[in-house]
Structures are given as structure tokens and as C-alpha cells.
Structure 1
Amino acid sequence: MAQGCHWADICWQVVNLQGEAPSLSLVQRVHKAFNHRAGRRQYQYDKCGRKPFKVSVAVEKFLIKRLLALRLVSVCTAATLRRESTVRQVLRKHGYHWLPRTQKGKYSGKQKLERLRFAKAVLRLTQAQLREKLSFAMDGVILSVPPKNATDRENYIAQGETHLWRRRGEAYTEALAGQQPYAQQVPMDRVLPLWGGLSEGGFAVVTFHASRKLATTAWCGLVRAGRLRRAIQALDLVTKHGPWKVLCDNENAMAAEGLSAWRVPPSSPDLNPVEKMWAWLRRRIRQKDREDLRKRRPPPGKAAFKLRIRNMLASKTAQDVAARIAGSFRKTCRDVVARKGGMAKA
């Protein structure tokens, strides 16, 4: 240890492979066990004669069988498996890798044609016409509060819900796309559903709601009450008094005068700019969660988590990101046309 250097200072200067600072007790243990003559930590049982542990064929079959069952219902279990080196070696031996839950979807010929028509229609608009037409690109998202259990929280923050163990040829398997039944998803006490949208004028929240899925009648009530209208009017660079076009995948959701739907082709998240905003928001949430864990802060409650989301979305950074995303919509449509209706590059 450097002379005059405090333990806390060493903790901040050292990080592991995940970029996380070690605990004070870990630094002190490593320093105490370090052998300066050998230049490393020496273990008491280096030459105890114990043979390396080998997994039997029966155990390998059991591990693969459990993986195939558990990955359909539990993301945290798949993340936990990643932390066990012996299990990880067995999974890789059998062709399983830590990959995204699903990759870009395959479209039928009819779907590609519909997507192609939509993208070409966008490209026929001038930049000024598109800015006027794209009053509000809207969709919902479900965010999740980190679990309170220490082990589950560490796994969730380290790995999230985006990856699992699968073979490379399983990219288009529907069962692995993350669309689990409600009973197998994040519990309601950790769920924070949100509806919002963006344009070149920035981002605005339409509503937070209590249920996992907002019913059509409840949504129409919010629209009639003026929630959607106020969200659009809060943005710059749009006509303040309408009429407005709302880019969404449900044309029946417009139930107020001055509002009409600009329908996105089904199963086309790349053609709704707000999906990129949700991806950005999830990355920012993960950064804050890791910071909380690193600084040993307790996990936020649902109310504190909701306030954090509001502050993130109201920040100048979020507004600038939303404006850039809306401004790049033509680029996304050009990519779809170049791919003949296929999924645009992320």
C-alpha cells in the first residue's frame, strides 16, 4: 500500500472487470494476504493434491434440462447461471452463449411490403412537412424497480432482462423473445407503466398508470380529459392548436377532436421513434442503479423510482436526445427501404 494512502482512496482507484469499486473489507483482505516476495497472493492449499472438479455426463444433462425450463420463466436465474464458472463452461460446451433474448424479427412478404410503403411515404415528405406531420410519436413502456433482495438486486443490475443463455440459431424463437405471461413477469409492486411520446420539440409524459396494461376505455378517458393534448402542446416546434397527427400502432386510441392517428405497421418498433427513447431511458436507469449499488445506497421504493424517472425525462439531456431521435426518422426509413422492408439497423 502506498504510504499515506487511505483505504477509501484505494477503493476508488481499483475496479473489477465490471467497472465496480471493491468493498473496503475486500481491499484490506487482499492487502493482508499479498506476498511481496512472490508478487501475488499465496494460497494455503496450493498443493493439497485435490483433483480438479469434473462434471459428469448426467450432471451436464441435468443442467441443460434445467436451463431449458428456467429460461422461459426467469431472467434472474439465467443471470445467476452466468456467475458460476463451472456451469458456464458446461453451457458453452453444449453450444449455449450469453446473447440477447431475441434478435431482429423476420417479416413475411406482406409485412415487408407494408413496411416498405410506409417508409417510402415518409421519404416523400420534405423535412418541413415531416416535422409538421410528426406531431407526436407515442407508445407505452413498462419499467421495473430493482428488487429489494440483495442477491436478486445485484444480478438484476449486472445483467438486466435483455440477455439469456441460448444457441445462436435460436434468435427467432418466439418463446425466448421475452413475452412471458403476466404471471411470470416482474411483480406488480416493482412495475412502473408509462405512456409518453416525442417530436423534434422534445419529449413529454402522457401518463403513469397503475395497471400493467392500460385498457382502451381508460386510455380514451385520458384522451378526452386532455392528457394527450397537453403533452403535445408542451413541446416546441408543433402547431399549438392542432390538428395533430399521433404516430402510434392503434388508430382507435384517438378519441378527441383535433387528434388523428398516423398508424405504424404492426410489429415495427424500428418505425416508431419513441422506442429509441425507451432504450435510452433504460440505459440511464441502469447507470443510476449501478451507482446506487456501488455507493451502497438502499434500493429506491416505487415512489422514489417514479420521481427519478420524471427527473430524467424532464432533463435537458433527455429533451435533446428526443429531438435528435425525431430528426433521424428519415434516416431510419431510408434504411428500411434499403433493406427492402426489413428491420432497420439499430
Structure 2
Amino acid sequence: MFSIRTTPPPAAVSRLAARYLTTISSAFGTTTHTLPATPGHYNSKTLSRFTIPIFSSPSTNTKLFSNLPPQTKRTMSSAVAKRLAGKTIVITGASSGIGRSTAFEFARTAPNHGLKLILTARRVDALEQIAKEIRQEVGEGVQVLPVKLDVSQPEEVRGFVGNLPEEWRDIHVLVNNAGLVKGVAQAPSIAEEDINVMFATNVTGLINMTQAILPIFKARGSEGGSGDIVNIGSIAGREPYAGGSIYCATKAAVRSFTDALRKELIATRIRVMEIDPGQVETEFSVVRFYGDKNKADAVYAGVDPLTPDDIAEIVVFVVTRRENVVVADTLVFPSHQAGAGIMHRKST
């Protein structure tokens, strides 16, 4: 069968249990187990969640875990959660899609570490609902501040930091997610209004938000500054396509700005990162087709697109690397996609 000596000191037993957790559980099956009481022998910060392997021999269970303290559920600090401890994160365009999912992903990753989320969008009612849902899911361990903000309006962005409560101004992470696309018109038939709103939101808005937050980052630490900027770009910024010339141009501008900013901040601890999704199913296509849901649905017919949650996981991943690790450039496709216009569609 399987045996483990019980003579090592208690700390070694705890480490041994963690080390063999995956192997043992796959061989014998796992279940949640109430941990026996012997205070002081277990480091409560070593595991984020402990699932106890159950052996066919009850005596083996008793011997192996005799030095672990009581608790049916353990919500402990993982390395990732610790890196978010006490941080304040700004997410633009947080009322739906990738922004909304990113808010939930940060909250779920560090639910008990003093995390503060500043969620911005034009639809403040949607933000308030998200804040309510986050509290219901993770409790009061994460604070959420909904802020009405249209990044396409420079005066609103200029007043953003100054209008925050004092205790919310020490910002550590900026996720520039707000963006949109309007229409599929080709030159010379592209509406001037569509051109202006795409550039004002996707480019000028992103740059203005970055300039509003960057002084906070540069004032932190002893190495010229510290903080994270995550820009949500697009495959469109790498591969322009017909019917998307203006949107593609805006995302190419984001890519150039991101790369230049990273070089400008090379002597600091400020990380500048870009995530470029391929096809993601959000309200994106509904907005592109001016609210026509049928046309939007046709975009995803026969394919299995990425979800906002997929991109949110990557946002949280890049932010929670060690400070010396910069995941500078990430291109993300669903499995059916190989380029901006190269997709496999299943026959319906």
C-alpha cells in the first residue's frame, strides 16, 4: 500500500502532505476533510486551499494529518494573492465584457487581502450592480468603488484622480480596457462621427488615462517608480482587415504607444504590458452593428470564440508575476482562429 513515516517534525509532515497532494489524490481520490486539532504545527499561509487525500486505511489518514490544526475550510494566502495584497486597481470599461470579468477575477484571486477595485464606465448603474455581486460572492474583503467615467471626454479623465476619495488615490494597477468599434464601412464612406468616437475612446482616452495615473506610479518606490499598466489591444492592431480600417488603426496606435511607453519607463519598476485578443464574444459586435443583435450573432456562428473570462484570467496572471517579470506582449486566439480573418467555422 502506501506509507509515510511519522517521525519527522510537524513542519516536515505539513510540507510532505502538500508535496504528495496531487499524486496521492489522483491515485486514491480526494475529499474535503476537517483538520485535526494541534495548534501551532501548521503554517496557515502555505496553501490556498487544502484538500485532504483519503486513504483506504483510516489509520494512515490519522497518522499523516495528526499535526494539522482544525478547520473545515482554509482560505490561505497563495503567492499570487499576496502580490495583490493592499493594492488599488483601476479598470476602465468595467461595466461589461472583459472589464467586468477582470473585476471579478481580481476579487476571486485575492478575496481577503485588502484589495480595492475602482471600476469605471459610462453606465454607473451597471457598475453598482457589479459591486453588489462582488460583495455577495467574496464578502467585504474586497472594496469596490464604482465611478462614472467616459474616457473619451478629456475633462472627465483630468478630474478623475482628484475626485477620488483620498484613501483610493494610491493606485497600483491600471487596466486600460475601455474601447469600441463602430460600423464596417470602407473609405470614403466611413462616418466622421464613428472615426472620432473610436479614436477618442480607444486611443486618446487610453493615453489620457495613462497620463492621469502615471504620476502616482512614478512617485512610488526608490527606483523611479512602481506600478502596472495593462493595455487591452487587439489582433486588429497587428493585422488590419477590410471593413475595420479605423478600428485597426486605433489598435495599432495603442500598440505603438505601449511599446514606446515601455521603453520610456525602462529605468523604473513600472511594467507596461499589452494583451491582444483575437475573437472574443462580448457586446463588441452589438456595438459595431449599432445594436443589431442578429448581425452580431452571425459573427460567432459556427465558431467557439474566447470569453471575457479567458482574457480576464490573463490580465490577472500578468499583473501577479514577480515584479521583475514583464509579460510584455500577449496574443490570444481561440483554437479555431489563426489570424484576423483566418477562422474555421463548423457547418451548421
Q: TM-score, normalised by structure 1?
A: 0.27
- Using CA pairs under 8 Å that are at least 6 residues apart, name the structure with larger relative contact order, 1 or 2: 1
Structure index of larger Rg: 1
> Which structure: greater helix fraction?
1
